[in-house]
Amino acid sequence: MVDVLVIGSGGAGMVAALSAKESGADVAVVSKSYPTRSQTCMAQGGINAAIGEDDSVQAHIDDTLKSSQGLGDASAIKKLCEEGVDAVAWLDKIGVPFSRSAECKVAQRRLGGASASRACYAQDYTGLKILHSLYDNCLKEQITFYNEYFLLELLSEGEGDEKRVCGAIFKEIKSGELKSIYAKSVILATGGYSRVYGHHSTNATGSTGDGIAVALRAGVVLSDMEFVQFHPTGLKNASILISESARGAGGYLLNGHGERFTDELQPRDALSRAIDEEISKSGAVFLDIRHLGENFIDHELPQERKLAKLYENVDPVSDIMPIKPVAHYTMGGIAVDARAESSLRGLFAVGECANHNVHGANRLGGNSLLELVVFGKEAGDSAAQYAQNVADITTSSAEQALKDTLEEIKSYTNEIDFYQKREALGELFYKSAGIKRNEKALLSALEQVKAMQHELPKMGVRDQSEVYNTNLLEFLEFQNLLALAEVMLVSMLERKESRGAHAREDMPQRDDQHYSGHTNALLHHQNVRVSFGYKGAQS
C-alpha cells in the first residue's frame, strides 16, 4: 500500500507526485503510457506568468476572469496568477531550458486574449521540456513508476458519507494481468476528453477521458462538461496544432481571397467562430507566417515548420498553411474544491481531467500548463496531508468482478466494427456538438450516442489474447468516450444560452439570470443527471 497513488504521468501527475513526496508521502505514479509520451509533451506556445516589466499579476487575473465569461472562480484564478511567478521560477530551477531574451531573462511571447507578452517558452517545445525535466526530478526523488498500466476502476470502502477511495485496479498491458494498488489517497491526473471529436482534435489518441469516466462510474460529480475549447488553427487535413505563438509572433489569417478578415489575437472561442464563418463564406482560411522569415521561424517555431511540412506538405517559410478550428482543450472535468479534492473522500484530481474553475467558459492559452504546476502542487500536498490521517484499508479486492466483465467483453459478437463507430462518433460531435450547437442537432446526437451504447454487445474485440491487447484497451477507451459523450450532450442541452466556447445558434445570448452557475453531472441509477450548482465569479 502507498500513501499517495497518482494516476497519470503528464505534467499534472508528475508535479503532484513531486509535491506529495516533498510533503513526506510514499508515492507511486501509474499510467497507460510512458511518462515522456504523455500529451503534455505536445504543448508548444508556453506557460503564463506575469514576470515581464510591462505586465502585472492583476492584469493576468483580469484577462483570465474576462476570458472565463463569468464561470471562473475569482479566488482560484487569483491563486493561479499569483503563484504563476513562483511556478515559473521553480521550473527554471529544476532545469527547464526556457528560451532567453538578450538580457538572459526567461523569454515571453504574447498569446490570444492576453494584454501582455506573458507566455514563457522553450522554443515551441515548451511542454516537452517541462515534462522531461519533471521526469528527471521524479527519478532523482526515487518515485516509483508503473508504466503501461491501464486504469479500469477505483477501489473504495464504506457507504454513503463514509465512502472513501482506497486504491485502483489496473490492467497491466504487457501481461494482461489485473493489478490492484491500494492507497490511502488517490490523485487522478489522466488528462482530457477531446478525442470524443475523433480526428477533429489536436489531442493525443489517448485523451479519451478514462479517469473522468472511471470517476463518474464511482459516483463522483463532474462539472462544466459542455465546455470544449476549439483551437482556431489546426492544420486542415491532419488537425495538428499550429500554435498560437505563430500568431503571437505576427502571423496573419487570410481568407479564400487572400485577405485578412479578423483580429488574429482575440480569444480562441471568438476567433474559432470567425474562422468557421469565413470558411463557409470564402471556402478556406490560411495562416501566413512567411513574412516572419526563415531565420525567425527556424529559431522560434522550428516544430511548427516540421509539423506543417510533415502533415500538410506545406513549408510555412514559402507557403500559406490551410487551417480549420479543431477540438483542443476540455474545460470540464471532475469537480474539485480549493484543495483539489473531489466529491469522493480521498480522491483528488488535477490537470485537464479536473475542473478547478480557473478557465470557466474559455481557457486562455498558456494557463493550462500553469494550472498543472500551481494546482499539481496543491493536489500533491493535500493528498499527502489527507493520507497522514487515514487508517489502514480493509476493503476486499474487486478484481474478480472486473475479470468477469472483461471476459464478457471478449464474448461480444463482433458484428459491428467499433472503430467505425468511433469514427462516426467523432464526425457526429464535430458536426452537431462542435463550434455551433442547437437543440435539434444535440437531441439527435444524444439519441445516436445512446444507440451506440446499446450496440456495444454487438461490437467487442477481435483480439482474444492477454498480452499487449491494444484492441481491448481501445474498446475500453471507446466505452469511456461514449459515457462522457452522453454527459457532454446532456450538459450542452441543459445550458440554454451561449457563453464562451458553448455557442448555441438557437440561444445566442448569454443569460446570467439562469445560467451563471456550473453544470454538475452525476450518474443516478445509471442515468445522467445534470443540475446547476455553484456560481462562478461575475465578469
Residues that bind ligand FAD (CB under 6 A): 7-13, 30-33, 38-40, 42-47, 126-127, 149-151, 189-191, 202-203, 206-207, 210-211, 241, 329, 351-352, 365-369, 372
d(CA 48, CA 519) in angstroms, rounded, equals: 27
Catalytic residue among 109, 118, 195, 247: 247
Residue 515 CB, shortest distance to ligand FAD, in Å, is 25
For cell 521526469, name the residue.
Answer: 135
Task: For the CB of residue 441, give the shortest distance to ligand FAD in the complex, in Å.
Answer: 26
What is the total residue count of the chain? Answer: 539
Q: Which lies closer to ligand FAD via its Cβ, residue 268 or residue 502? A: 268
Establish whether 290 is a catalytic residue.
no
How remote is the C-alpha of 314 from its chain's centroid? 29
Residue from 533, 408, 526 nearest 476 by CA: 408
**Beta carbon of residue 534, minimum distance to ligand FAD (angstroms, whole number):** 22
Minimum CB–partner distance for residue 244 and ligand FAD (Å) = 7
C-alpha separations of 434 from 201, 231, 273, 290, 336 in Å: 11, 11, 10, 30, 26
Q: In angstroms, what is the minimal distance from the CB of 93 to ligand FAD?
A: 19
Between CA 367 and CA 384 the distance in angstroms is 25
* CA nearest to 260, candidates 292, 297, 288: 288
Residue 281 C-beta: closest distance to ligand FAD, Å: 28
Nearest to 521 by CA among 263, 61, 209: 209
C-beta of residue 354 within 8 angstroms of C-beta of residue 334: yes
Known catalytic membership, residue 514: no
CA distance 483 to 329: 18
User: Which residue has cell 453531472?
Assistant: 521
470 Ramachandran zone, left/alpha/beta (phi>0; psi -120 to 50): alpha
Closest to ligand FAD by CB, 234 vs 536, is 234
Of the residues 231, 268, 502, 504, only one is catalytic, namely 231
Please name the residue ranges forming H helices in 6-73. Answer: 11-22, 57-68
Residues involved in catalysis: 231, 247
